[in-house]
A and B are shown apart, each in its own frame.
Chain A
């Protein structure tokens, strides 16, 4: 293939991290003047792609071209600007100083914005806040500052990485207007987001990335939320049957709910009624900012919320529940061995006895048992946790919580950044645990994951909970994806009305 002579051309882009393949021969052309959308499930390689174009990493193999010329973003980083969800700027400086920083003239005086900088800021509506400290500006203003900064240094390529997940609707509209202006001025604009609605509304073409490649490019009439949702999950789900088979029927349909929340209200969700029976895996599905994550964290006691909540009638959840954070960095202890990581949440009498003395023989036995039971691949329990692969580290993180034998297990994105084999083993562990009569609640952004592991699911949008979907009712993941998208739209519309 011949690289496009304007815009960006990516050919056979491959990135390996050890044995993990993040990008696998990805081809993509991005023309100036359009907003190209990029969609894909978690771990599909989207963020690696962004980092690669942004020059934060170099590819293992493959080529990048800009206007037909070979191009190394690592060396020519000035050309690209990445606008993150969280602007990466200097909160202690003013807006104008942020725009100038990095392009100061050689003089020793405290730098001032040039005439051109002032024009750019005025054009973007930053005039009134020019001399405010950036840290005191709204998130939308901070993002705009980031864009202004890039425009001022003549960046040609703008990558928006989940830019509006924390913005209000009005602020999002403003942002998209800026993006269109950038595109119309002949710049390359890429939008990476989970929000299918935004992709359909604002992008001419949307590339679906899966397993490190571009699997489809949707445009025109083919570009709808349904078709996107279907594209996102197609792979590997065809033959898969819903996981629920055993567990759902195992739970007594008439049994009283084991975990209950009534009129449960927090900052990000309102009057939620939620219940789950022992033996069930319940998924909470929602994009960032929908309130789904916050709801799960409130069950874990990590977000303030009011209302009634109980496990088997007990209102004090205490150690009846255990929580597994979304990233391993928040559950693993790098100074500890594998065994110590497995046991770190336990106390008297499990691992310590009189005078708090550690029961070392028992610790050894427990650690070995966990390694076997949770299928952790490690030569010994004494090696540092860092020596394990990502998938096995994730198993340790989950096992750490399971070792507390909670009645209610809460997990955020339990298989994020995990290889397919470990993924299946983790699903297996969760199903086994639920089958022992416990409740497992997961927060999740992937329909495929819900299809494979959950018994039922709720969609969360705008802080509201949808009706319950029973996964066993779906034969194909595409149908589930369509329903999830519909429920999401309905909740969004209801809250807009």
Chain B
């Protein structure tokens, strides 16, 4: 083996700080969006009436809160941990906001930041238990899932709230109501909801954080080899805790936005979102073993799921078909991933 260093002075190696978004990952994301288009074409062939901008707009709306939670979960998964509690956090944020604002009359401008602060504390709690007490994140967040759901039941007294009909009988100030509903107001010819822009904003900010900042670089490093990161004295604990906090806060944002859109809070909202959100992240190409995942992929995963969900809801005789597809698509996505990885390896 000749190990001469054959670097001629002229040919300098090219460096891409998007190294991980290398060809393989680009192909993975390309494939995902190709799947989105293929599914759309199939739906259109089945029913040409689906060629309707309103439908596209409602798919975007439907994916928004899933995508915001999935983006937060992507951070936790990239750093090599799991969060099962975000769905319950989504519910707690909506319920605590409802109770503070609708029941106790705390101005919404204050109640929203308070809800987000609660979410930050929950993330800190999860992160602290995982990093300092070394309890596996699966167990910590399984616990906090139930804990948060319990808190939602408690603060809401198992009740349902609608800001248009406060239980006290007194109406909420119109300004606050307009502001709150304005958060996700639909506008324009196709009734596009502002919630979609929240999703895009979150995606851009967190996308920068994960793919263009030192924070994301180290998150990827810690997820890729936590032991090495520790030996290299990277701030492993701090970064993991931050990922948990961001995941919780994003889940709370999703909960508050959906509350604004639906205008009704129930103690158990969000719980059923847990697994679809996981599915979106996994379909998006993130690896549960950490160190791998992209925001654009996660968005694609959420889009594919929303598309299937709405398309099938319009076509199918019952909800079982959606569930079966959700399961099948998740498994197929990961199976394809492994197959392609093995193909690449065997050729290399």
Contacts and interface: CB of A to CB of B under 8 A. Distances in A.
B79 to A, nearest CB: 12
Contact of A400 (B19, B208, B218, B232): B232
Interface string B232-254: 11100000000000000000000
Interface stretch (A132-140, A229-237, A346-354): A346-354
Q: Which of B17, B20, B208, B232 has the most chain A CB atoms closer than 10 A to its own CB?
A: B17
A378 B13 contact: yes
A371 B13 CA distance: 8
A461 B90 CA distance: 59
A413 to B, nearest CB: 14
A333 B213 contact: no
Contact of A381 (B14, B221, B231): B14
A332 B225 CA distance: 7
B341 to A, nearest CB: 12
Contacts of B17: 339-340, 358, 360, 363-364
A337 B20 contact: yes
B346 interface: no
Interface string A421-432: 110010000000
Interface residues of B, number: 36
B228 interface: yes
A352 B209 CA distance: 12
B7 A339 contact: no
B214 A358 contact: yes
A181 B13 CA distance: 61
B320 interface: no
A300 B86 CA distance: 38
A377 B7 contact: yes
A261 B23 CA distance: 49
A376 B5 CA distance: 7
A384 B23 CA distance: 11
Contact of B3 (A358, A384, A422): A422
A332 B227 CA distance: 10
Interface string B202-218: 00000010001111011
Nearest to A397: B228
Nearest to B223: A335
B14 A333 contact: no
Nearest to A18: B1
Contacts of A89: none
A330 B217 contact: no
A330 B19 contact: no
A378 B6 CA distance: 9
Interface in B96-155: none
A368 to B, nearest CB: 5
A332 B215 CA distance: 18
A155 interface: no
Given A335-B292, A344-B217, A380-B15, A375 B20 contact: no
Given A300-B231, A391-B3, 7 more contacts: A336-B19, A337-B16, A363-B17, A371-B13, A372-B7, A377-B7, A381-B19
Interface of B: 1, 3-7, 12-17, 19-20, 22, 208, 212-215, 217-218, 220-221, 223-225, 227-228, 231-234, 291-292, 348
